[in-house]
Structure 1
Amino acid sequence: MFSPLTDDRTPSSVVTGLVDDVLALAETWPAWDGTPRPSGDRVYTPHKAIRRVADHLVDHLAELEATLAGVDPLPDHWHASAVTTAADLAEFTAEDLAEARSRLTRLAEIWRLRLDSLTDEELDKSTGGWSPRELAFHVAESVYYAEVVGNLAPRTPA
């Protein structure tokens, strides 16, 4: 298993930065025309991007808490991005953006509080899986889902 690359940023800022970046893109998604965005053998939509980011934050938060408690994490049963649901294809409205903002901001806050409560030694301790620091940097990679959908703000002529 590969280990996520880390750097000198605080792990909590990496996670909160992820959410800030996703929400900045999501602010433009009410302009989405309903066409899924392809990436390899998958497609992404605004709802699917939000779902995938939230699922990633929840899944790895459960892994983090189990690891810190000294127990094996529950296995992950997400279908990940292989599945596009009917809900993923729905229009993305201002109300959806507000819900996404609330959901992702609260998840980022849970991550921030937990990660900031750990010492550097605890952040780097691994019990066979990724360390808490590595988990934080890994979940930040889920910005990918939002980047596939992209910035949908109308472009103004130069």
Structure 2
Amino acid sequence: MTQTPRENPAQAVTGMVDHVLELAATWTHWDGRPAHADDRVHTPHKAIRRVADHLVDHLAELEARLAGEAPQPDHWHASTVTTRADLAPFTQEDLDEARSRLLRLARIWANRLGALTDEQLDRSPGEGWSFRELALHLRGSTYYADAVGDLS
């Protein structure tokens, strides 16, 4: 993964969440038909679930590595599974819940990344991407929301 070292990793995460929530604001108009992209089924609830899971998964990795522990392997079903809950209508209340959940996760990420030095961001302990690269990788979570799209 080639990244510009000076990119603000916190902005990458908060910007991704802002983009997802901008699209999610249109999903109360969803007609119940899943979108299909890259041999996967996508729905509003599934997009929110996948973005939140991605944020939680890599946050757990970051925290474990900072603590000198090996990250726990994840056991998500990820985007290969579409649950009954994923197929439910996406209501204004669901949007409110998504906003609360994702904005809080983005703030946790921004606070954690902001507390790290450039040295810690770029020469992170343990195996895997640097913490800066990890945060920049999270930008790709827009994929799930983009697959559902703007439904206004």
TM-score by length of 2: 0.96
Q: CA deviation at 1:40?
A: 1.8
Q: Which residue of 1 aligns with 2:150?
A: 151
Name the aligned partner's letter for residue 140 of structure 1.
R
Q: How far apart, in 2, do the equivalents of 1:99 and 1:6 lie?
A: 32
Who is 1:63 aligned against? 61
Residue 6 of structure 1 and its aligned partner are, at CA, apart by 2.2
**Correspondence 1:44-63 to 2 at 5 A:** 44-63=42-61
Whole-angstrom distance in 1 between the partners of 2:99 and 2:128: 30
Matched residue type, 2:35: R
Q: Deviations over 1:72-120 (max 9, x none)?
A: 0000100110000000000000000000000000000000000000010
Matched, 1:131 2:107: no
Give 1:102's match in structure 2, choosing from 93, 100, 120.
100
| Structure 2 equivalent of residue 156 of structure 1 | none
How do residues 53-92 of structure 1 correspond to structure 2 at under 5 angstroms?
53-92=51-90
Distance of 1:151 and 1:125 partners within structure 2? 38
In the alignment, structure 2 segments of 5+ residues that lack a partner are: none
Question: Equivalent pairs: percent with the same residue?
Answer: 66
Residues 18-57 of structure 1 mapped to structure 2, 5 A cutoff: 18-57=16-55
How many residues matched?
Answer: 150
TM-score, normalised on structure 1?
Answer: 0.92
Where does structure 1 differ by over 6 angstroms across 4 or more consecutive aligned residues?
A: none
Q: How large is the RMSD of aligned CA atoms in angstroms?
A: 0.9
